[in-house]
Amino acid sequence: MHDDHARTYWKSNVRILTALLTIWFLISFGGGILFADFLDQFRIGGFKLGFWMAQQGSIYGFVVLIIVYVVWMDRLDARYNSRKNSNPPPGIDASSSKDGQE
Amino acid sequence: MSSVQIWTYLFIALSFGLYIGIAIWSRASSTNEFYVAGGGVHPMANGMATAADWMSAASFISMAGLIAFLGRDGTFYLMGWTGGYVLLALLLAPYLRKFGKYTVPDFIGDRYYSRTARMVAIFCAITISFVYVCGQMQGAGIVFSRFLEVDITTGVIIGMTVVFFYAVLGGMKGITYTQVAQYCVLIFAYMVPAIFISIMMTGNPIPQLGFGSELTEEYGGGYLLDRLDNLSQQLGFAAYTEGQRGTQDVFFITAALMFGTAGLPHVIIRFFTVPSVRSARTSAVYALVFIGILYTTAPAVAAFAKTNLMNTVNNAPYLELPDWFYTWENTRLLTFEDKNGDGLVQYLADPAMNELTVNRDIMVLANPEIAGLPAWVVALVASGALAAALSTAAGLLLVISTAVSHDLLKRSLMPEINEKQELFYARIAIFVAILIAGYFGINPPGFVAEVVAFAFGLAAASFFPAIVLGIFYKRMNRQGAVAGMVAGFVFTAAYIIYFKFVSPESSTAANWWFGISPEGIGTLGTLINTAVALTVSRLTPAPPRDIQQMVEEIRLPGN
């Protein structure tokens, strides 16, 4: 009945995951391992940048990624729920659900 | 009795009293409470419990030491054991919560509509957890023997008794709330010495910034990491902030630890205890923040300890060393052999001339003493290490107990037992598991420590793809999943067994496949599992209609 909503929801979900996991890969495997030697030519304070990414920066990045994920998914869930409720399945009288309790 | 011991007894008595109090307050009266704490744990409490569950004796005691000797390459522990949470939060936790059962074999068995799949999952869960729990008991024993000078047997028995109290009485409910308390104890115990040392060496109270700052006058000034690089090179070691291992090896080890983290059953089941899908996501944020506090401090501790050790010990006259040196010599974790007979300690990269061997574990345990911190701080570390060991042990024991009482008995062999009997069997199972774990804690088989590191590879190669494909690929069927899990597990186990036990002398980068060490082979196992699963599932019939519907259902929000 809500197949369309469900499909849209799932597609958006997969898009969010792809975007976040790409960043996840870039900051950890990219910044901390593959490009660490290259990044080492830059410095922040006493840290070489590649070393800092490997031992500090990537972890801060992970926390930010999960926070962004939670916020985006909350929004996506809210949109899905409101669409689903504004389009009740046939056979249910829209006015009866307003009363809440039977 | 020394003042360190008096403080240690005091802290341990206080913290153990607290844990037992919580155990009595949070007794479980149903299987639902015993398996998932009634499913009503606040996301923040679950975040703390997950952090304590996750951070084991190895994280607390050994990790900073390992990093101190690995330098930049130590990142595979840091990124591997935190980056896995991103995978867990995005790919597993919300959907498994929506699925809403009790265990990982539950999911595998139901999703792949197969007793074989359930049995394979039970086998993997029990093997992985047992290997792991023995290491925790050993860790607790070491702490008792070093700080209180009781023998390891007594130490392990005390630890077992405390775990017995809250795990058998309260199941997941008791374990959850004790883990919250244990997180507070362990993070306080880890941070206090780190902050003290950071202030002493750099004047900066935040260790994460301190190890990128300049040393104080007393320590000779200049950036700490530059000094560490120079000292290391002078003694013939590689520069601390540069990589030493092959890039692809570091890459594969990091990935194996990440996939393994996301596939470890005792971490996954923590997300069954929160009330909703939404709280499963929030609770992953809390968990990673709480874990991140320790994991960003550990590399700072490593750098401080390494600098301090080289400064204090190298070329110092043996007879004039500080007291801690002799204390730790007694435990054999530190040994000095005056090869050239000059009475001075030479700490060098060249094994023929080096006179000092340092066990990695003392980097955290002895660090407060090396830095000359007060007795109560030293004692604090002991109770923190115990909290880390016991909290992880309890989480693992619960996995073993649910795998036996729920997955093996209720869902497979004896479906006719009622809830009361199931709860009874769960308690018996956890009791027996504690006894076995205690036995191996006292008589550690030589291979345990080795194998703990490989538990990750095995979890990565077996569970991770099976669960992710089960959620994201509707077409995945029983045949594909079972073939994939078996292929991944067998391949990874065979590679590890060959290089670690059959032919350890050939375990060099030249003989490894693609330069991947046994620690990192789990990544290849994960890929093999996935490839086999996808191929086999294409050649065999699609899963039944109701299973496909179940997959659609767990993908949607709401309860």
Q: What is the pLDDT of residues B494-540, one digit of tens each?
A: 888 888 777 777 777 777 887 788 888 999 999 999 999 999 999 99
- Does residue A2 surpass a pLDDT of 60? no
ipTM of the shown complex? 0.89
Burial (0-12, 13-18, 19+ Cβ within 10 Å), B450: middle
pLDDT at A95: 42
- Which residue on chain B is closest to A32 by alpha carbon? B75
- Calculate mean pLDDT across residues B326-336: 78
pLDDT digits (tens, 9 = 90+) for B21-68: 888 888 777 888 888 877 778 889 999 999 998 888 878 888 888 888
- Does residue A93 surpass a pLDDT of 50? no
Mark yes or no for CB contact B225/A24 under 8 Å.
no
pLDDT at A26: 94
Nearest to B292 among A32, A55, A63 (CB): A63
Per-residue H/E/C for B37-64: HHHCCCHHHHHHHHHHHHCCHHHHHHHH
Which amino acid is present at B70?
Answer: L
Q: Does B412 touch chain A (CB under 8 A)?
A: no
- Calculate mean pLDDT across residues B448-461: 75
Mark yes or no for CB contact A52/B212 under 8 Å.
yes
- Does residue B450 surpass a pLDDT of 80? no
Mark yes or no for CB contact B90/A77 under 8 Å.
no
Q: Tokens at residue B436, please?
A: 């076995």
Burial (0-12, 13-18, 19+ Cβ within 10 Å), B472: middle
- Which residue on chain B is closest to A74 by alpha carbon? B278
pLDDT digits (tens, 9 = 90+) for B269-326: 888 888 888 889 999 999 999 999 999 999 999 999 888 888 888 788 888 888 778 8
Q: Give the B window 278-297 contacts with A, CB below 8 Å.
A: 278, 281-282, 284-285, 288-289, 292, 295-296
Can you tell me the distance from the alpha carbon of B283 to that of B302, in angstroms, rounded to the nearest whole number? Answer: 29
Domains, chain B, with CATH or none: 3-555 (1.20.1730.10)
Smallest CA–CA distance, residue B493 to chain A, in Å, is: 25
Which amino acid is present at B9?
Answer: Y
- Split at pLDDT 50, 70, 90, the class of A59 is very high
Tell me which residue of B288, B300, B51, B311 sits closest to B195, measured CA to CA. Answer: B300
Mark yes or no for CB contact B75/A32 under 8 Å.
yes
Mean confidence (pLDDT) of chain B: 86
Smallest CA–CA distance, residue A18 to chain B, in Å, is: 10
Mark yes or no for CB contact B78/A62 under 8 Å.
no
- Does residue A94 surpass a pLDDT of 50? no
Q: Does A26 touch chain B (CB under 8 A)?
A: no
Tell me which residue of B501, B527, B59, B517 sits closest to B253, measured CA to CA. Answer: B517
- Does residue B403 surpass a pLDDT of 80? yes
Mark yes or no for CB contact B74/A21 under 8 Å.
no
Indicate yes or no: pTM above 0.90: no
Which chain B residues contact residue A59 at CB under 8 A?
Answer: 78-79, 82, 292, 295-296
pLDDT at B84: 92
Picking from B59, B67, B70, B86 by the largest number of A CB atoms within 10 A of its own CB, the best residue to mutate is: B86
Can you tell me the distance from the alpha carbon of B438 to that of B136, in angstroms, rounded to the nearest whole number? Answer: 10
pLDDT at B457: 87
Q: Does B361 touch chain A (CB under 8 A)?
A: no
Q: Does A29 touch chain B (CB under 8 A)?
A: yes
Beta bridge partners of B334: B358
* Cβ–Cβ under 8 Å, residues B176 and B49: yes
Mark yes or no for CB contact A80/B556 under 8 Å.
yes
Which chain A residues contact residue B224 at CB under 8 A?
Answer: 46
Smallest CA–CA distance, residue B86 to chain A, in Å, is: 6
Q: Does B552 touch chain A (CB under 8 A)?
A: yes
Can you tell me the distance from the alpha carbon of B457 to that of B484, in angstroms, rounded to the nearest whole number? Answer: 15
- Calculate mean pLDDT across residues B173-193: 90
- Which residue on chain B is closest to A79 by alpha carbon? B557
- Does residue A99 surpass a pLDDT of 60? no
